[in-house]
Structure 1
Amino acid sequence: MRRNIAIALTAATLIAGTIAAPSAFAGTSTAQAYSCHYSVSGGNAYAGYYSGNTVIPSSGGVSSAGIEAQCLLKRAKFDPGTIDGVFGPRSQAAAKRFQTLMNDAFGYNTAIDGIVGQETWPALRWYAEYNA
């Protein structure tokens, strides 16, 4: 019985610690502005926070994909607002303007939804490299 209680308490402590642990981007309750550190590889621009093409930036909290997408939109001259990692309404509007341009000027068939996902990431990385 004591062993089961000890195991349960250990598990509860581990779970509580995981839930309460701060994320890599947590800190204060006020928004933090991030710096963009651009590099180029294979004809694509990167800002130093996320190098993939699949993660969708979060509108509900700070994410590395959010910072990356905001940096690339800014480099491509589509103002996402403050580079804070939260992909909110202003960032989504910038992404929609970018998606519209890619469809109209370059023949893409990307949904104009303000979501930077599998279709938008490669185009954004390419465009941010050549149109900075």
Structure 2
Amino acid sequence: MQFRSKIAMTVGAAALSLSGASAVPAAATDVSVQAFSCNVTYTREGTDDSKYYAGYYSGETIQPSSTSVTAAGKEAQCILKYKGYNPGTIDGVFGSNSQTAAKNFQASVNRLCKRQVLAVDGKIGPATWPYLRQVYVCWDENN
């Protein structure tokens, strides 16, 4: 009787693997990420008050989340990408790629302004948003 049980279990396992069935639920293996499109525009073209917008978030205070999709995350990723700082997939989650892009942007602002105006911390918060939105990064050296 034991012999028949072992054969039945072996045949059952082989049938599962041949049918493509898996012991891991499909949801647990789904690692797809929704990518969002970017359409960055700017307002008041040609003035010192021009600002970039991607259409997801219009403020300058909310810090994008590193664990969930946010409008601020999509907005920051789009503008970083537009300015040449690769945040990776535009997914609204401000993960390690986005944080590296933000650090590179912050360091560039400091270099262009010839002084430290931003902490190079990879966070897009109230201090960094105005510089990210600005068309002219250092509009006033004494600012």
- How many pairs are equivalent? 102
2:107 to 94, 100, 103: 100
Paired position in structure 1 for 2:74: 67
Offset, 1:108: 4.3
Higher relative contact order (CA 8 A, sep 6+): 1
C-alpha distance in 1 between matches for 2:136 and 2:37 = 20
1:36-51 counterparts in 2 under 5 A? 36-41=38-43, 42-51=49-58
Structure with higher Rg: it is 2
Q: Which amino acid aligns with 1:85?
A: G
- Return the offset for 1:105: 1.3
Shift of 1:30: 2.5
Amino acid at match of 1:110: L
Note if 1:33 corresponds to 2:41.
no
Aligned residue for 2:52, secondary structure, equals strand
Structure 1 residues 1-132: aligned runs within 5 Å = 30-41=32-43, 42-106=49-113, 107-126=115-134, 129=135
- TM-superposed deviation, 1:29: 6.3
Aligned mates of 1:94, 1:39 — CA distance in 2: 20
CA distance in structure 2 between the partners assigned to 1:89 and 1:104 by the alignment: 22
CA separation of 1:75/1:130 partners in 2, compared to 1, >3 Å: closer, same or farther? Answer: farther
The structure carrying a bigger helix percent of its residues is: 1
Which residue of 2 is the match for residue 13 of structure 1? none
Distance 1:111 1:130 in 2: 19
For normalisation by structure 1, the TM-score amounts to 0.72
Tell me the amino acid that sits aligned with residue 100 of structure 2.
A
RMSD, aligned CA: 1.7
Gaps of 5+ in 2: 1-29, 44-48, 138-143
Q: Identity, % of aligned pairs?
A: 50
Could you say what secondary structure the match of 2:35 adopts?
coil
Measure how far apart 1:40 and its partner are. 1.2
3-state SS of paired residue (2:102): helix
Query: Structure 1: which 5+ runs fail to align?
Result: 1-27
